[in-house]
Amino acid sequence: MLRLEKVRVRFHDQLVLRDVSMKAASSRTTVLIGRNGAGKTTTLRSIMGLLPLEDGRILFDDFDLATVPVHDRARLGIGYAPEDRRLISDVSVEDNLLLPAVALSFAAFERKRRLDEIYALLPEIAVTRKRAAGVLSGGQGKIVALGRALMVGTRYVLLDEPFQGLAPVLALSYADTLARLRQTRPSLGLLITESTPKLLEKIVDSSLLIERGEVTELTKLIGSHTAAAQ
Ligand X SMILES: Nc1ncnc2c1ncn2[C@@H]1O[C@H](COP(=O)(O)OP(=O)(O)OP(=O)(O)O)[C@@H](O)[C@H]1O
Distance CA 10, CA 52 (A): 9
Q: Which residues on adjacent β-strands are paired with residue 215?
A: 210
Q: Which stretch binds Mg ion (CB under 5 A): 40-48, 114-122, 134-142, 210-218?
A: 40-48
**Which residue, 26, 44, 2, 30, is CA-closest to 17?**
44
Distance CA 2, CA 203 (A): 18
Query: Where in 181-210 is the site for ligand X (CB under 6 A)?
Result: 195
The correct pick among 29, 30, 42, 206 for binding ligand X (CB under 6 A) is 42
With H, G, I as helix, E, B as strand and everything else as coil, classify residue 45: helix
The correct pick among 30, 41, 206, 224 for binding Mg ion (CB under 5 A) is 41
Does the footprint of ligand X cover residue 52 (CB under 6 A)? Answer: no
Distance CA 9, CA 56 (A): 9
Distance between the two ends of the chain, CA-based, in angstroms?
18
Distance CA 157, CA 77 (A): 8
**Which residue, 111, 200, 183, is CA-closest to 147?**
111
Distance CA 4, CA 57 (A): 6
Does the footprint of ligand X cover residue 37 (CB under 6 A)? Answer: yes
Using the 8-state DSSP alphabet, how is residue 48 labeled?
A: T
Does the footprint of ligand X cover residue 158 (CB under 6 A)? Answer: no
- The 55-94 site mask, x for binding ligand X (CB under 6 A), equals ----------------------------x-----------
Is the CB of 40 or the CB of 73 nearer to Mg ion?
Answer: 40
Instruction: Give the H or E element holding residue 23.
Output: strand 14-24
Does the footprint of Mg ion cover residue 29 (CB under 5 A)? Answer: no
Does the footprint of Mg ion cover residue 42 (CB under 5 A)? Answer: no
Instruction: Give the H or E element holding residue 218.
Output: strand 214-220
Distance CA 189, CA 93 (A): 25
Residue 134 interacting partner from ligand X, Mg ion, none (CB closer than 5 to 8 Å by kind): none
Residue 206 interacting partner from Mg ion, ligand X, none (CB closer than 5 to 8 Å by kind): none
Does the footprint of ligand X cover residue 16 (CB under 6 A)? Answer: yes
The correct pick among 22, 30, 31, 39 for binding ligand X (CB under 6 A) is 39
The correct pick among 7, 24, 31, 38 for binding ligand X (CB under 6 A) is 38
Does the footprint of ligand X cover residue 40 (CB under 6 A)? Answer: yes
Contact footprint for Mg ion (CB under 5 A) = 40-41
Contact footprint for ligand X (CB under 6 A) = 11, 16, 34, 36-42, 83, 195
